[in-house]
Amino acid sequence: MNAVVSVQRNVRMTLRVNGEDFDALFAPYKTLLEVLREDLDLTGTKHGCELGECGACAVLLDGEPVLACLVLAVECEGRSIETVEGLARGSELHPLQSAFADLGGTQCGYCTPGILMTAKALLDREPDPGRERIREAISGNLCRCTGYQQIYESIEEGARRMREQSQ
Amino acid sequence: MNARTKFSVIGKPRRRVDARSKVTGLTRFADDLVLPRMLHAKLLRSPHPHARIDSIDTSRAERHPGVHLVLTGKDFPVSFGIMPVSQDEYPLAPERVRYVGDPLAAVIAKDEQTAAEAVELIEVKYAPLLTIATPEEALAHPEARIHEYGENGNIHRNQAYEFGDVDEALAESDHVFEDLFFFQGNTHLPIEQHASLAAVDGEGKLTLWSSTQVPHYIHRALARALQMPAAHIRVIACPNGGGFGGKCDLHNHEIVVSRAAIRLGRPVKICLTREEVFYMHRGRHPVLMKFRTGVNKDGKITGMHLQTLLDGGGYGSYGPASTFYTGVLQPVTYELPRYKFEACRVFTNKPACGPKRGHGTPQPRFGQEVQLDKIAERLRIDPAVLRLNMVAKPNSLTANWLRIGTIGLAECIREVVRISGWNEKHRKLPEGRGVGIACSAYMSGAGLPIYWNKMPHSGVQLLLDRSGQVTVFCGATEIGQGSDDVLAAIVAEVLGIDAYDVRCMTGDTGLTPIDLGSYSSRVTVMMGNAAIQAAENLREMLAEAAAEHLEVLPDRIVLAQGRAFLADDPGRGIDFRAAVELAETKHGTLGSVGSYTPPRPPARYKGGGVGPSPAYSYTACVVEVEVDPSTGWITVPKVWIAHDIGRSINPVSVRGQVEGSVYMGLGEALMEEQVFRRLPPKLSNALVHRIPSLLEYKSLTSLDMPEVETVLIEDPDPNCPFGAKEVGQGPLLPVMPAVANAVWDAIGVRIDEVPITPDKVLEALEKKAKGENPRVGPEHFPAVPYPEPIFVAPPWEGGDGNAQKPPRRAKEAVTS
Ligand code: FES
Ligand code: FES
């Protein structure tokens, strides 16, 4: 077997994450997940497989949920990236966050950032989705702790709080 | 304190204290940690299930640019293992690999990519040995012996106990039911992959941050593995992204990064890939079971003889305990006058099995609950009534000398029967739909630690100071179950403050008093009792100081709502901070400790230390299923479950634990299986994991998860903090058998094994159509050379808890 010679030239680009521009220098093979966590210190985004199977790494790319482990960071130049770190306004929690905290939507918390982002994408589009829509929307996010029921309730309550806020 | 009934924190649905940091992504899991100059490790794992290592050449890997260190077995001369009786692993295998995935070398490099590249450059010559793939093969082939220790050949543990003459009981019974069951292995699958970071500080001492449920056990085992004084090692358990028992062993990678950090003087991190997590495993043992149960016409059990055969995989791990647990908790649920259990664990060339949620008890619980369904069917007794009539008695001893305290099982059964509409559904739903019921019991903490000592199982320390801040220290570990919240809630309740005003410092062997860890559902009871003791000590100091100030006797002082005031004159009082200042003035620096040691178990026979617990929780569950006869597909529209919690500390978390258990139980019942296959001979014929990916290892998604209706039965147990029993594991146990029983009710076939997959349903339906026994399950139980049983007379037969000579047996009652 031959030695794999790693002479990859790093790329430099500006990534817009949570409305903030980051000047980043990274190897071109790196996924968005890796760049967020390793180069931008945004470790709120989690990983459970790095193969697109668990949903823990879900972030929003131009408002759409994507699995950050399946997206190359180089594809994200000039696009809007949203992560869990961008949800709260200062120290005020996003309504989804406060609902998850209040209603048991988070236990170990490991799946939580991915589910929050997926739920946010849903609620941004459909402010009052039914239980079935919620179940479908998060069906790509595995949670090993909760049995999902308190997650649905948290999303429903988060939606209610969001509607209240926007009134 | 336990006698109180009015609380301000306990029992109130609350946002748990760590929720905010979880929803903001600020919780720092092990892989989120970064230290300056940190390096990364990767392990080389064996592609062979069983082989001698003839040589390892690391020279090319060492020369690879960016590589700092390559480690092999010779860097780790000392074996390790989590239990004192299973020191059978090496951090990196020196001479022999025992399963595909067994690590034998490690590369530490500037980044993960470089380390992974260099791992590929290590050249190993293996001499393959005979692969032992199944327990039957293990019994048939004492050679090649996987380990040089154990009972003999490839038998790791082999034991037998008999509590009263079971053959006699069966001979005198109206009916004897004999059934075989198989419970397939499955794995924990925490969404967080295991990660560890080791660093050496300025004093040359080691710190290991790790995804572990048991920092104290890791601390002890690591000191031995590294041959370093424990005082120079600090283990910090990061919050776990789920554990379920999968983070209870000392793992190879934890020792490897520790050694590497010491060697290099730089921080070293590793995060396992998902595939590696599957191969590391330590999950549910596959268990083959044989039940012979004597029953009288009224449905009461007269005696039970249980035989189990555990597929242990390549190492000991917690296996000695797992072996016991396939038998010892059986008598806790129902009255069982006589009981015999024989258990055998064998080594095979697969990833080692260990503790997974319910540790060793879901398997026999599945068998017994399905057998009870068959008994009810034959005797024409409603399965719920059958169970209700023989619920174990509170404040009693079991046949195997376990002391049971409070029992809420009858209440649980009545509740699930009521809310599920059982009486309108059972035997009455249209073909293809059915309901099943099952019950269970589980311990609230193991009565003995995994290494012999008489010290406390949990210690809590409290610090207060004049700023009014309250900090609580405890070795307990937050794995998602909410242990920090329980700790804060208990301290807050006693001191009369808000749970969010308590700072929890947990799971850090360098700072916190020892708690044995998050396993065996022990934390609420053991940590909770220690916390009450510590907080009560401080409460007294505060009350004394406040009383002096208010010029009354201390017993008139109440601490509540952030104040210290007179019970009979609430207007007269001072705020909490003022009380702390006065107490600090009076007593000096304010601190206190609390400890908890479980009660001494009544059993005196050898092995009687496994099974005792301060309290047992009880659960009853009804599952409804719809079975599609053309595809065999099982849909679960709804689950009803009632759990005897004693008292809820935080009902939001309790419900979450129950529903999470139902979720995991349904996964085990319907789809989850950790199984192995042979690679084609032209590749290597190796025994590999069939499906080491999250996509292929099927688990329930939100679309599969049914609605769950949960009822909590609150009957406070005097041994428990505020009466609170466990909830993390017990509610999982009845789910699998309830599904199997519902399938019977729906389509009249018996699937006597889990998972109950569509192919098995179709096979059983086919048999049914042909007029054959409509059953899929194990057909025979191999001849296991169990030892002579240790005989102990049950308490009601004049025993004293000691082993004694077995009675002379009536010849004709002895069956083969
Ligand atoms: S880490 Fe991206 S889907 Fe699992
Ligand atoms: S809360 Fe633990 S995986 Fe979802």
pLDDT digits (tens, 9 = 90+) for A136-149: 999 999 999 999 99
What letter represents residue A139's amino acid? S
Residue B691 has pLDDT above 90, yes or no: no
Contact residues on chain A for B191, CB-CB shorter than 8 A? 46, 48, 54, 56, 108, 110-111, 142-144
Distance CA B29, CA B409 (A): 38
In this structure, are residues B615 and B406 in contact, taking their beta carbons and an 8 Å threshold?
A: yes
| C-alpha A50 – ligand 1 centre gap (Å) | 4
Residue B690 has pLDDT above 50, yes or no: yes
Residue A5 has pLDDT above 50, yes or no: no
- What tokens were used for B2? 């336990």
Share of chain A above pLDDT 90, in %: 93
In this structure, are residues B82 and B318 in contact, taking their beta carbons and an 8 Å threshold?
A: yes
Following CA atoms B573, B575, B577, B579 in sequence, which dihedral angle do they give, to the nearest 10 degrees?
10
The predicted structure's pLDDT at residue B7: 96
Strands B206-210 and B233-237: parallel
Helix residue spans in B519-572 (DSSP H): 523-550
**What is B306-322 written as a DSSP string?**
EEEEEE--SS-TTHHHH
Query: Which of B31, B117, B663 is closest, CB to CB, to A6?
Result: B117
Q: Best of A35, A110, A135, A161 to disrupt the B interface by mutation (most B CBs within 10 Å)?
A: A110
- What tokens were used for B628? 């599609």
Distance CA B649, CA B488 (A): 10
Q: Summarize the confidence of residues B735-758 as an average pLDDT.
A: 98
User: How do the domains of chain A map onto residue ranges?
Assistant: 11-86, 95-166
Query: Which of B66, B190, B663 is closest, CB to CB, to A147?
Result: B663
Task: Tell me whether A20 touches chain B (CB under 8 Å).
Answer: no
- Same topology, domains B33-129+190-243+247-280 and B159-186+283-448+605-776? Answer is no
Res. A1 pLDDT band, cuts 50 70 90: very low
**What are phi and psi for residue A126, nearest 5 degrees?**
-125, 100
CA-B191 nearest atom, ligand 2: 3
Distance CA B618, CA B587 (A): 44
Tell me which chain A residue has its CA closest to the CA of residue B652.
A104
Tell me which chain A residue has its CA closest to the CA of residue B708.
A149
Task: Tell me whether A113 touches chain B (CB under 8 Å).
Answer: yes
Residue B2 has pLDDT above 80, yes or no: no
In this structure, are residues B188 and B317 in contact, taking their beta carbons and an 8 Å threshold?
A: no
Following CA atoms B128, B133, B135, B141 in sequence, which dihedral angle do they give, to the nearest 10 degrees?
-30
| C-alpha B242 – ligand 2 centre gap (Å) | 7
Q: Which of B215, B661, B239, B653 is nearest to B475 (CA)?
A: B215
Tell me which chain B residue has its CA closest to the CA of residue A47.
B192
Q: Which of B291, B365, B289, B358 is nearest to B334 (CA)?
A: B365
- What is the distance in angstroms between the Cα of B200 and the nearest Cα belonging to chain A? 22
Q: Tell me: the pLDDT tens digits for B80-102?
A: 999 999 999 999 999 999 999 99
In this structure, are residues B643 and B708 in contact, taking their beta carbons and an 8 Å threshold?
A: no
Q: Name residues whose C-beta falls within 8 Å of residue B457's C-beta, 6 or more positions apart in sequence.
A: B445, B449, B515, B516, B522, B526, B596, B597, B598
Distance CA B652, CA A79 (A): 39
Q: Atom 3 in ligand 1: which residue has the minimum CA distance?
A: A52
Q: Tell me: the pLDDT tens digits for B606-635?
A: 999 999 999 999 999 999 999 999 999 999
Distance CA B770, CA B761 (A): 14
In this structure, are residues B189 and B240 in contact, taking their beta carbons and an 8 Å threshold?
A: no
pTM of the model: 0.97
Q: Name residues whose C-beta falls within 8 Å of residue B640's C-beta, 6 or more positions apart in sequence.
A: B416, B419, B420, B621, B622, B623, B708, B709, B711
Mean pLDDT of chain B: 96
Chain position carrying tokens 């014929």:
B685
Q: Judge: A47–B193 Cβ closer than 8 Å, yes or no.
A: yes
Query: Which of B27, B662, B701 is closest, CB to CB, to A142?
Result: B701
Whole-number Cα distances in Å, B604 to A38, B160, B575, B608, B801? 56, 16, 52, 6, 5
In CATH, which of 3.30.365.10, 3.10.180.10, 3.40.50.620, 3.40.190.10 is domain B455-596?
3.30.365.10
Whole-number Cα distances in Å, A131 to A112, A135, A148, A154, B331? 18, 6, 11, 11, 42
Q: Judge: A101–B191 Cβ closer than 8 Å, yes or no.
A: no
Q: Summarize the confidence of residues A114-141 as an average pLDDT.
A: 98
Residue B15 has pLDDT above 90, yes or no: yes
Count CA atoms within 13 Å of residue A29 on its CB side.
Answer: 5
Residue B4 has pLDDT above 70, yes or no: no
Q: Summarize the confidence of residues B584-599 as an average pLDDT.
A: 98
What is the arrangement of strands in the sheet containing A58-61, beginning at the earlier edge strand?
A20-26, A11-17, A80-82, A58-61, A64-67
Q: Summarize the confidence of residues B575-594 as an average pLDDT.
A: 98
According to DSSP, residue B679 is labeled P
**What is A66-131 written as a DSSP string?**
EEGGGSBGGGGTTSEEE-GGGTSBTTBPPHHHHHHHHHT--SS-SSHHHHHHHHHHHHHH-SS--H
In this structure, are residues B411 and B715 in contact, taking their beta carbons and an 8 Å threshold?
A: yes
Distance CA B724, CA B95 (A): 49
Q: Name residues whose C-beta falls within 8 Å of residue B776's C-beta, 6 or more positions apart in sequence.
A: B749, B750, B751, B752, B753, B760, B761, B763, B764, B767
Q: Tell me: the pLDDT tens digits for B224-277?
A: 999 999 999 999 999 999 999 999 999 999 999 999 999 999 999 999 999 999
Q: Which of B24, B357, B271, B246 is nearest to A109 (CA)?
A: B24
Q: Tell me: the pLDDT tens digits for A21-33?
A: 999 999 999 999 9
CATH topology of domain A95-166: DNA polymerase; domain 1 (1.10.150)
Q: Name residues whose C-beta falls within 8 Å of residue B22's C-beta, 6 or more positions apart in sequence.
A: A100, A101, A106, A108, A109, A112
Strands B339-346 and B155-163: antiparallel
Q: Atom 3 in ligand 2: which residue has the minimum CA distance?
A: A143
Share of chain B above pLDDT 70, in %: 98
Taking 3-state DSSP, the helix, strand and coil percentages for chain B, each rounded to the nearest 5, stand at 30, 25, 45
Q: Tell me: the pLDDT tens digits for B787-812?
A: 999 999 999 999 899 999 887 664 44
Mean pLDDT of chain A: 95
Q: Atom 4 in ligand 2: which residue has the minimum CA distance?
A: A143
Q: Detail the DSSP E strand segments found in B110-154.
A: 123-128
Q: Is the CB of A145 under 6 A from ligand 2?
A: yes
Residue B1 has pLDDT above 50, yes or no: no
The predicted structure's pLDDT at residue A8: 64
Q: Is the CB of A49 under 6 A from ligand 2?
A: no
What sign does the CA torsion over B716, B718, B722, B724 have? negative
Q: Best of A57, A84, A107 to disrupt the B interface by mutation (most B CBs within 10 Å)?
A: A107
User: How do the domains of chain B map onto residue ranges?
Assistant: 33-129+190-243+247-280, 159-186+283-448+605-776, 455-596
Residues found in chain A = 167
Q: Partners of B472 in the beta sheet?
A: B462, B504
The predicted structure's pLDDT at residue B5: 66
Query: Which of B25, B481, B655 is closest, CB to CB, to A44?
Result: B25
CATH topology of domain B159-186+283-448+605-776: Aldehyde Oxidoreductase; domain 4 (3.30.365)
Q: Is the CB of A107 under 6 A from ligand 2?
A: yes
Q: Which of B708, B701, B702, B736 is nearest to B638 (CA)?
A: B708
Residue B815 has pLDDT above 50, yes or no: no
Three-state DSSP string of B731-765: HHCCHHHHHHHHHHHHHCCEECEECCCHHHHHHHH
Contact residues on chain A for B190, CB-CB shorter than 8 A? 108, 110, 144
Neighbours of B179 (CB within 10 A): 20
Q: Tell me: the pLDDT tens digits for B433-470?
A: 999 999 999 999 999 999 999 999 999 999 999 999 99
Residue B307 has pLDDT above 80, yes or no: yes
Q: Tell me: the pLDDT tens digits for B703-736?
A: 999 999 999 999 999 999 999 999 999 999 999 9
Q: Is the CB of B243 under 6 A from ligand 2?
A: no
- What tokens were used for B431? 């073909």
Q: Tell me: the pLDDT tens digits for B501-549?
A: 999 999 999 999 999 999 999 999 999 999 999 999 999 999 999 999 9
CATH topology of domain A11-86: Ubiquitin-like (UB roll) (3.10.20)
Contact residues on chain B for A144, CB-CB shorter than 8 A? 188-191, 242, 244, 660, 664, 699
Q: Which of B741, B649, B194 is nearest to B422 (CA)?
A: B741
In this structure, are residues B627 and B743 in contact, taking their beta carbons and an 8 Å threshold?
A: yes
Ligand 1: list residues with CB < 6 Å. Answer: A 47-50, 52-57, 67, 69
The predicted structure's pLDDT at residue B684: 80
Whole-number Cα distances in Å, B371 to B282, B289, B362? 28, 12, 14
Following CA atoms B626, B187, B315, B130 in sequence, which dihedral angle do they give, to the nearest 10 degrees?
60
The predicted structure's pLDDT at residue B21: 98
CATH topology of domain B33-129+190-243+247-280: Aldehyde Oxidoreductase; domain 3 (3.90.1170)
Strands B750-751 and B775-776: parallel
Q: Name residues whose C-beta falls within 8 Å of residue B563's C-beta, 6 or more positions apart in sequence.
A: B496, B573, B574, B575, B576, B579
A&B contacts, CB < 8 Å = 186
Distance CA B310, CA B733 (A): 18
**What are phi and psi for residue B685, nearest 5 degrees?**
65, 10
Q: Number of H helices and number of E strands within chain A? A: 5, 5
Three-state DSSP string of B580-602: HHHHHHHHCCEEEEEEECCCCCC
